[in-house]
Amino acid sequence: MDLPIFPLHLVLFPGRPLPLHLFEPRYLSMLRDCLDGDRRFGVVAIRSGREVGSDWYTDADGNDVQADSVLHQVGTVTEIRTVAERPDGRFDIITKGSERFRLVQPLNDRAYLRADVEVLPEDRAATRDRIAAENLRDVLVPYLLGLGVPREYTDRLPVDPCELSWMACSALQVEVPVQQQLLELPTHAERMDATARIIRRETGIIRHLGMVGSFRPAGPGGAQLN
């Protein structure tokens, strides 16, 4: 299927909300087209590193970037839930991520970036997912409490392993490349195992430094996937 593509310096995980402020003309055009259609577009993280190629476009933050090198290949479909227009013609929207996709072929027929994409399957294995979810929950609850998340929230974590997987990924205080690696993992069990490893590594480092009483995760750059 073809999909409008919204490049951002972040990773959107399925099931998670994403508020956006739209002001750049090409993204206002994209919004109009989405509202006239199925209200969906794709969010893809901008990749750091070497820039190669000659095709330039303006990202969602108003920066000129080269399309050939800066986008990761896996993103998330998101659906527009609410739209509010400001007096100056700008828009505030709230969207919610749904399913992952892989970029197949860019389409250059609009002012904004569009692409032919392939929706990625979500492989489930009930027993394996349940075990991974239990192990993740054991480390996730104290991690969230250490971040200052209220106990009443941690007592209501998602029961469904799929939802827990994406919620935990979005809670991690890690940089975009690590989030992107988590997004690209093929199964929920692998993703939950990787997330649990990151949490254990961060909390282990902090305990080693004798900071248990004022626990805070390491922040961006403080963890790696493997």
pLDDT digits over 29-42, tens only? Answer: 999 999 999 999 99
- CB distance 67 to 57 below 8 Å: yes
Asked if the structure places residue 171 within a domain, the reply is yes
Instruction: Check whether residue 39 and residue 131 sit in a common domain.
Output: no
> pTM value?
0.82
How many Cα atoms occupy the beta-carbon half-sphere of 155 within 13 Å?
3
CATH code of residue 69: 2.30.130.40
Residues 134 and 112 occupy one common structural domain:
no
Shared domain check, 52 and 149: no
Which of 119, 143, 173 is the endpoint of a domain? 119
Domain-embedded: residue 222: no
Phi-psi region of 49 (alpha: psi -120 to 50; beta: other; left: phi over 0): left
Domain boundary among 119, 136, 154: 119
76 is a domain residue: yes
Whole-number pLDDT of residue 122: 85
* Shared domain check, 100 and 25: yes
Residues 71 and 49 in one domain: yes
Residue 219 belongs to some domain of the structure: no
101 and 15, same structural domain? Answer: yes
Q: Are residues 100 and 136 in the same domain?
A: no
Pair (158, 179) in one structural domain: yes
pLDDT of residue 27: 95
The CATH number for 133's domain is: 1.20.58
Q: Which domain holds residue 59?
A: 2-119
| One domain for residues 11 and 101 | yes
Same domain for 164 and 64, yes or no, is: no
- Assess if residue 225 is contained within a domain: no
* pLDDT for the residue 51: 30
In this prediction, the residues of the chain whose per-residue pLDDT falls under 70 are: 48-69, 206, 208-226
Number of domains in the chain: 2
pLDDT at site 147? 85
Q: What is the pLDDT of residue 191?
A: 97
Kindly state whether residues 43 and 18 are assigned to the same domain: yes
> pLDDT tens digits, residue range 137-155?
999 999 999 888 999 999 9
Domain end position, chosen among 80, 104, 119? 119
Nearest residue to 221 via CA among 197, 200, 202, 195? 202
Are 155 and 188 within one domain?
A: yes
Per the domain annotation, does 224 fall within a domain?
Answer: no
